[in-house]
Chain A
């Protein structure tokens, strides 16, 4: 760690203060992201790291990048992560027991190796080199300077990356597309099915979502009026997998109807 040398190109004191506060915090957040059990907690800690990085970018005379970091990364990408977590199951958590033998040892050794080597290499690369600072490059503002570079020197990469974005969007659509195996039932067929079903109670259709729900998690079934869990309130996938949570803790407590007499037949 090169703290000793006071040469030109050092950062100013406010930046140093910010660094020494946020830097260790971000490292701790990243470590915790590894160690917490629930995936949602990992996502939130990840968001914290990203915001810290946005601070760093802005401090390093890269305001455009800092804003983009917040808007795109933290805003869009982390939200996307959270949506998927919601789809998959918010309560899903890993046990901390490692199933593959020796993997932890390898991981820790590799971590020590990579970390140490990287730090040492980076130290060697920057030893004695003074930082030039971006005052000159940012003449006229950071955004115009970036734009000038982006659309002159890097325009070809820019075009390729935009093609990549389009392809990624298309790919996601294709992957998530649900291919119907059977032809879609027409409205007439649906009506026929409803009225020719086993019981006429299906004829009126199902209640709106959330009417009987006891919890907003996807794997907690709704409870019907007689207290039994409604099986078709959970997606078939979760049902077949068997990861349906017991709804009984979420039952309403005993209903006390002051008007009714006890023993009166319903």
Chain B
């Protein structure tokens, strides 16, 4: 089996994550879909590291994980803050940019 198959899985997961961001209304589920996209790209990096024979891809995947962790921390804190004032976790509620 060609290791490139992992890349196709990664592409599929990425697509699913992208669609999920647009379709779901619950802010936390949207966030999870973003995490899914990040994971898919991590998989692609690791596969490329294997294909190219050096560890740079793994290092980048490592950094991606760290950054994703930070992002989750801050993002969820924001969601909680919004939830406290808006009393809803739906992304459609925060539509003040309309006017």
Determine direct contact between A and B, CB below 8 Å: yes
Residues of A within 8 A of B (CB): 1-3, 5, 9-11, 15-16, 19-20, 23, 26-27, 30-31, 33-34, 39, 42-43, 46, 49-50, 53, 56-57, 60-62, 64-65, 68-69, 72-73, 76-77, 80-81, 84-85, 87-89, 92, 94, 98-100, 103-104, 106-108, 110-111, 114-115, 118-119, 122-123, 126, 129, 131-134, 136-138, 142, 145-146, 149-150, 154, 157-158, 161, 164-165, 167-169, 171-172, 175-176, 237-238, 240-241, 243
Instruction: Label chain B's interface by main secondary structure.
Output: helix
Provide the bound-state CA to CA distance between A180 and B55, in Å: 50
List, in ascending order, chain A residues with CB within 8 A of B58's CB.
62, 64-65, 146
14 contacts between A and B (CB under 8 A): A2-B4, A34-B20, A34-B33, A60-B46, A62-B46, A87-B80, A99-B25, A122-B7, A133-B50, A137-B54, A138-B55, A164-B67, A172-B76, A241-B88
Contact of B18 among A80, A110, A169 (CB under 8 A): A110
Q: Interface size class for chain B? A: 35 or more
Beyond A81-B31, A154-B59, A175-B74, whether A119 also contacts B11 by CB under 8 A is yes
Beyond A60-B47, A111-B15, whether A176 also contacts B77 by CB under 8 A is yes
List, in ascending order, chain B residues with CB within 8 A of A241's CB.
87-88
Please give the distance in Å from B97's CB to the nearest CB on chain A. 14
Provide the bound-state CA to CA distance between A39 and B4, in Å: 33
List, in ascending order, chain A residues with CB within 8 A of B90's CB.
94
Contact of A146 among B50, B62, B80 (CB under 8 A): B62
Instruction: Please determine whether A107 and B1 come into contact, CB atoms closer than 8 angstroms.
Output: no
Beyond A80-B76, A84-B79, whether A92 also contacts B26 by CB under 8 A is yes
Provide the bound-state CA to CA distance between A33 and B19, in Å: 11
Beyond A2-B2, A11-B1, A146-B58, whether A26 also contacts B18 by CB under 8 A is no
Instruction: Please determine whether A134 and B13 come into contact, CB atoms closer than 8 angstroms.
Output: no
Please give the distance in Å from B82's CB to the nearest CB on chain A. 10
List, in ascending order, chain B residues with CB within 8 A of A69's CB.
42, 65
